[in-house]
């Protein structure tokens, strides 16, 4: 199950009833070049009547304009546009206003007026008839389903619209919103992950982190990995983000990394005051001590019967930017056997990513056992980041 936090961020994408642009229809003026008053005046009257909902009277005015002798090309075009406007405004196509332009205009008018039954029914048929039922119009239909409470029909259409290798941002955002409303956790997570993978915006990453951080049973090490991703994706927003990340890095013997995190918070002017400076000094002191003791610790780890220590100190090397050394030591640890293979594969994947070996990093992340739920989730997020940060 997705955590409640995932539901809480769905409001970010809630769509309001926004107006859909009506297809452009010329507003005829007698002074327009090429349109004589004998044609322009009745067409103006026809438009006014159509706006008032009097379709038959409007069409009568169009016929008056058509009766003028010697119609020019511009006048014929104005008459055709007015017919399309009447058809779109009133739904009366008897005057010959049937066209893709009119169908789109009627579709927009019905949506803006909240006539969602017409939008998802007769308007779709008209759009299909004139070959105007395009991707963007289908998104509007999906939103009309959503706004009228037909959630499963909206989800079904959005599945079709987002099922390919690339989906529009608006379709994915709407899918997330509708799935939230319908309680479809799988669709919610899929849409949010696609937003991150396809559009790679800090706001989407931030919402995804907010969602997964509410997962049950996350360990401190896993939370540290989430903070590392927050830092990489620009999703660190508060002083607590930076301070907690640094404190977790110290907890897991990555003091050099901790000092770097604090410094970035200071540079961003998010961290201020005495406490961050104390934290920075502590991290630097520990980093110096670690650097002095690390060669001996690594030698002991290589001589150990199991590989847990090697993985641990490999992570320390990664924090110092010694990526290839980290890869070698973590691989040594995995080969010896470790108590937490999921964690070890994540360490290996992050080290490969630091070294710029993206394919190897993704392979390492994908090797985390799927039944190791939280580690698999963390690895999946790192794999997404690895693909999107190229």
Provide mean pLDDT across the span 216-244.
94
Listed in order, strand segments (DSSP E) in the chain are: none
The H or E element spanning position 37 is helix 37-51
Fold of 217-388: 1.25.40
- Check if the beta carbon of residue 31 is closer than 8 Å to that of residue 214: no
- Check if the beta carbon of residue 235 is closer than 8 Å to that of residue 205: yes
pLDDT at 31 over 70: no
Q: Specify the pLDDT at position 20.
A: 55
Q: Specify the pLDDT at position 95.
A: 66
Q: How far apart are CA 131 and CA 109, in angstroms?
A: 19
Residue/partner pairs of 386-390 with CB below 8 Å, 24 or more apart: 386/349, 386/353, 386/358, 386/361, 386/362, 387/197, 387/358, 387/362, 388/196, 388/197, 388/200, 389/200, 389/232, 390/358
Cα 68 to Cα 43, 245, 250, distances in angstroms: 12, 79, 87
End-to-end alpha-carbon separation of the chain, Å?
31
Q: Specify the pLDDT at position 3.
A: 47
Q: How far apart are CA 14 and CA 138, in angstroms?
A: 18
Q: How far apart are CA 346 and CA 50, in angstroms?
A: 65
Residues 6+ away with beta carbon under 8 Å from 174: 13, 15, 139, 142, 143, 146, 154, 158
CA of residue 11 relative to chain centroid, distance: 13
Angle formed by the axes of helices 358-366 and 373-388, nearest 10°: 160
pLDDT at 149 over 50: yes
- Among the residue ranges 200-204, 241-245, 310-314, the one predicted with the least confidence is 200-204
What is Dmax (Cα atoms) for the chain?
A: 102
Residues 6+ away with beta carbon under 8 Å from 292: none
Residue 234: which region, alpha, beta or left (left: phi > 0; alpha: psi -120 to 50)? left
Cα 257 to Cα 108, 250, 297, distances in angstroms: 54, 8, 18
Q: How far apart are CA 9 and CA 348, in angstroms?
A: 31
Residues 6+ away with beta carbon under 8 Å from 274: none
Burial of 21 from C-beta contacts in 10 A (0-12 / 13-18 / 19+):
exposed
pLDDT tens per residue across span 317-371: 999 999 999 999 999 999 999 999 999 999 999 999 999 999 999 999 999 999 9
For the chain, domain boundaries: 4-17+138-207, 217-388
Residue 134: which region, alpha, beta or left (left: phi > 0; alpha: psi -120 to 50)? beta
Instruction: Say whether 7 sits in a helix, a strand or coil.
Output: helix
Q: How far apart are CA 334 and CA 53, in angstroms?
A: 76
> Which residue carries 């890095």 as its tokens?
249
pLDDT at 19 over 80: no
Q: What is the CA radius of gyration of the chain?
A: 31
CA of residue 208 relative to chain centroid, distance: 10
pLDDT at 12 over 50: no
- Check if the beta carbon of residue 15 is closer than 8 Å to that of residue 143: yes
DSSP codes of every residue in 327-346: HHHHHHHHHH--S-HHHHHH
pLDDT tens per residue across span 271-312: 999 999 999 999 999 999 999 999 999 999 999 999 999 999
Tell me 20's DSSP state.
Answer: P
Give the Cβ contact number of residue 274 at 10 Å. Answer: 7
Give the Cβ contact number of residue 17 at 10 Å. Answer: 12
pLDDT at 129 over 60: yes
Provide mean pLDDT across the span 102-106.
81
Q: Specify the pLDDT at position 5.
A: 41
Whole-number average pLDDT of the chain: 88
Residues 6+ away with beta carbon under 8 Å from 54: none
Q: What tokens were used for 372?
A: 């190791």
- Better-scored residue on pLDDT, 301 or 102: 301
- Check if the beta carbon of residue 128 is closer than 8 Å to that of residue 156: no
């Amino acid at each position: 199950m997705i955590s409640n936090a995932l539901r809480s961020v769905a409001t970010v994408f809630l769509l309001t009833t926004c107006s859909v642009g009506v297809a452009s229809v010329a507003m005829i003026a007698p002074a327009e070049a090429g349109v004589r008053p004998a044609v322009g005046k009745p067409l103006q009257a026809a438009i006014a009547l159509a706006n008032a909902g009097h379709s038959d009277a409007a069409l009568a005015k169009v016929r008056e304009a058509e009766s003028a002798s010697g119609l020019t090309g511009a006048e014929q075009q104005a008459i055709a546009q007015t017919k399309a406007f009447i058809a779109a405004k009133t739904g009366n196509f008897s005057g010959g206003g049937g066209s893709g332009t009119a169908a789109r205009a009627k579709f927009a008018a019905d949506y803006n007026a909240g006539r969602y039954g017409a939008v998802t029914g007769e308007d779709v048929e008209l759009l299909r008839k004139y070959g105007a039922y395009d991707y963007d119009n289908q998104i509007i239909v999906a939103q009309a389903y959503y706004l009228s409470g037909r959630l499963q029909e909206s989800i079904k259409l959005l599945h079709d619209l987002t099922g390919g290798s690339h989906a529009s941002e608006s379709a994915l955002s709407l899918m997330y919103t509708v799935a939230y409303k319908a309680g479809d956790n799988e669709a919610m997570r899929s849409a949010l992950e696609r937003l991150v993978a396809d559009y790679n915006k800090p706001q989407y990453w931030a919402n995804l982190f907010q969602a997964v951080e509410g997962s049950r049973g996350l360990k401190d090490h896993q939370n540290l990995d989430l903070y590392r991703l927050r830092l990489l994706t620009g999703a660190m927003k508060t002083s607590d983000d930076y301070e907690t990340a640094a404190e977790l890095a110290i907890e897991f013997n990555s003091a050099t990394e901790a000092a770097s995190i604090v410094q970035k918070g200071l540079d961003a002017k998010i961290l201020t005051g005495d406490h961050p400076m104390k934290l920075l000094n502590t991290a630097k002191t520990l980093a110096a001590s670690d650097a002095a003791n690390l060669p001996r610790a690594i030698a002991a780890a290589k001589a150990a019967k199991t590989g847990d220590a090697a993985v641990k100190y490999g992570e320390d090397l990664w924090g110092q930017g010694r990526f290839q050394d980290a890869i070698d030591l973590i691989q040594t640890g995995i080969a010896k056997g470790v108590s937490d293979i999921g964690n070890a594969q994540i360490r290996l994947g992050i080290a490969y990513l630091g070294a710029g070996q993206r394919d190897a990093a993704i392979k390492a992340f994908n090797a985390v056992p799927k039944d190791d739920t939280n580690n698999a989730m963390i690895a999946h997020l790192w794999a997404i980041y690895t693909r999107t940060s190229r």
